[in-house]
Structure formats: C-alpha cells, structure tokens
C-alpha cells in the first residue's frame, strides 16, 4: 500500500478548518486540486476535494471534482468493498450537502467505518449506516 491514496489520507488525520476569517492552507490546496479557486475558504464543502488531492498525490488522475456525486463516475462499482475503496454516501434530505465521500475502512454490523475529509469538521474515521451507501467504487 506504499504511496496509496489511503495512506496519504491518513497522513492528514485530524486536519481541521481554521476558525475565523483565515483558512487552513491544506484545505485550500485540496479545493484547488478539485478545480476550485486557490483562495476558496475552508468552510467550502471539501470531502470530495480531499479525495481528489489524495489520489493526485499518488500520481493517479481521477475524473472527479469538488462535487461529491462526481465519484460515481470513478473506477468500477463493487459490492464487496475492501479497505481503501471509495464509498459515496447519501445524507438526510435536510442536510446542507446531500452526499459525502471517503475511503471504506471496514464493515461492522449494520455500519461501515469511513475515513474522510470534512467529516465531523475534520479528517477522521466515522461510523456510517450501510443504508446510506450509494456506491462503493474500486479504482
């Protein structure tokens, strides 16, 4: 797994936006990698941009952008995910953003652990319901 997008993602574990008018330069680089302006504020939804950055850092070009739903066109769908596969998730209709994307870590009962950016307002691993999964993508 040397120089894998998953390992790149783990190296940013705990990275958070900066409170106030300043922005975290890491998050601004993620957003720029996904095609947004370099001075985009770190309050901009950045889960998709984070994954684009992680893949780019490994020399892997993906046809995704800052729109989370763009990950549905990446790789091939799989129904048997393994650690490091991309998972696209749906959020409740009343959420600000209706999709989320991250790296599949493991399944536990009716849930899955996902490593992602802009999750709990940081890069972290969180438990999601399997019912929220729109697609697992193998790159």
pLDDT tens per residue, range 32-46: 999 999 899 999 999
Total domains in the fold of the chain: 1
Residue 138 is predicted with a pLDDT of 97
Residue 98 is predicted with a pLDDT of 83
Which helix (H) or strand (E) segment is 29 a member of?
Answer: helix 25-33
Domain span holding position 21: 5-138
Q: Specify whether the CB–CB gap between 98 and 26 falls below 8 A.
A: no
Please say if the pLDDT value at position 2 is more than 60: no
pLDDT tens per residue, range 63-113: 999 999 999 999 999 999 999 999 999 987 666 668 999 999 999 999 999
Of the given ranges (17-21, 96-100, 130-134), which has the lowest mean pLDDT? 96-100
We report the CATH number of the domain holding residue 51 as: 3.90.1720
Residue 3 is predicted with a pLDDT of 78
Distances (CA, A) of 36 to 15, 18, 22: 19, 18, 17
**What end-to-end distance do the CA atoms of the chain give, in Å?**
14
Please say if the pLDDT value at position 1 is more than 50: no
Please say if the pLDDT value at position 49 is more than 90: yes
CA distance linking residue 51 with residue 57, whole number of Å: 10
CA distance linking residue 64 with residue 35, whole number of Å: 10
- The pLDDT-based confidence of 128 (bands split at 50, 70, 90) is very high
Q: Specify whether the CB–CB gap between 45 and 118 falls below 8 A.
A: yes
CA distance linking residue 94 with residue 32, whole number of Å: 28
Q: What is the pTM of this model?
A: 0.94
Q: Specify whether the CB–CB gap between 24 and 12 falls below 8 A.
A: no
Q: Provide, rounded to the nearest whole percent, the portion of the chain with pLDDT above 90.
A: 87
Q: What is the mean pLDDT of the chain?
A: 93
Q: Specify whether the CB–CB gap between 110 and 130 falls below 8 A.
A: yes
């Amino acid at each position: 797994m040397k120089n894998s997008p998953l390992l790149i993602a783990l190296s940013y574990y705990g990275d958070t936006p900066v409170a106030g008018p300043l922005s975290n330069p890491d998050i601004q680089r993620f957003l720029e990698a996904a095609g947004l302006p370099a001075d985009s504020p770190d309050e901009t939804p950045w889960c998709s941009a984070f994954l684009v950055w992680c893949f780019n850092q490994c020399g892997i070009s993906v046809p995704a952008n800052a729109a989370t739903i763009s990950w549905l066109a990446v790789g091939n769908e799989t129904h048997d995910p393994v650690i490091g596969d991309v998972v696209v998730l749906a959020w409740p209709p009343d959420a600000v953003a209706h999709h989320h994307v991250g790296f599949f870590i493991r399944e536990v009962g009716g849930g899955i652990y996902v490593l992602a950016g802009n999750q709990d307002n940081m890069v972290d691993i969180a438990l999601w319901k399997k019912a929220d999964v729109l697609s697992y993508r193998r790159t």
